[in-house]
Amino acid sequence: MKKNTIFYCLLFFIFFGVFCIKGYSKECSQKIVCLNSTIIIEKMPEFSIAQKELEKLTKNHENALEKLAKEFHKKAEKFQKNKNPILKKELEILQARAHAYQKTAADDLSKKQNKLFNPLYKKIENAINRVMERNKTIIRVDDCSPGKGVLVNKGIDLTEEVRKELGI
């Protein structure tokens, strides 16, 4: 009876060990890789079109703010000459309008940027998914672009493979 118990215990540990080793080797073959999305997005033809649209919108907002600033400076000069309380109130109103416009312009630029760049990021994501489908060992892709938070990734860099997938 004692020999049977020892035999079953050894058998259990052998099977348990084999399953653990198989699970461990599978886990070791899985990879965390990196990708520089900045390099990819800057090579996409749609990027330059989006950049130009954003620059145009930025210029329009800058021109509007410049007009408000000129108007403010003219009224400020008048106020310096004759300390009129009505002019002071107009200056306060102009200043409030300029601040409100700055916020509106920033929101407008942010919305436009999202509208223009989200489809590009979606296209990159789809290409990454296709690359991951071909290479089943990849479990995670980190974006190693500057400012994305990943300082070091010793994994494989998929940037070139994803660029090829996108045809850029």
**For each of the chain's 168 residues, which pLDDT tens digit applies?**
555 566 554 555 566 554 444 444 444 467 889 999 999 999 999 999 999 999 999 999 999 999 998 988 888 888 788 888 888 888 899 899 999 999 999 999 999 999 999 999 999 999 999 999 999 999 888 888 887 766 666 778 888 888 898 998
Give the C-alpha separation, 45 to 84, whole Å.
56
Prediction pTM value = 0.66
Give the C-alpha separation, 102 to 69, whole Å.
12
Burial 93-111 (b: 16+ CB within 10 A, else e): ebeeebeebeeebeeeeee
Structure token pair of residue 75: 């009224």
**Looking at residue 86, what is its pLDDT?**
85
Give the C-alpha separation, 5 to 42, whole Å.
67
Strand segments, DSSP code E, in 29-167 are 31-35, 138-143
What 8-state DSSP symbol labels residue 137?
Answer: T
Give the C-alpha separation, 92 to 75, whole Å.
10
Contacts of residue 144, Cβ cutoff 8 Å, sequence gap at least 6: 34, 35, 36, 150, 153, 157
**Looking at residue 60, what is its pLDDT?**
96
Q: Domains in the chain and their CATH numbers?
A: 30-166 (3.30.910)
**Looking at residue 6, what is its pLDDT?**
63
Strand segments, DSSP code E, in the chain are 31-35, 138-143
**Looking at residue 152, what is its pLDDT?**
67
Contact by Cβ (8 Å): 147, 38: no
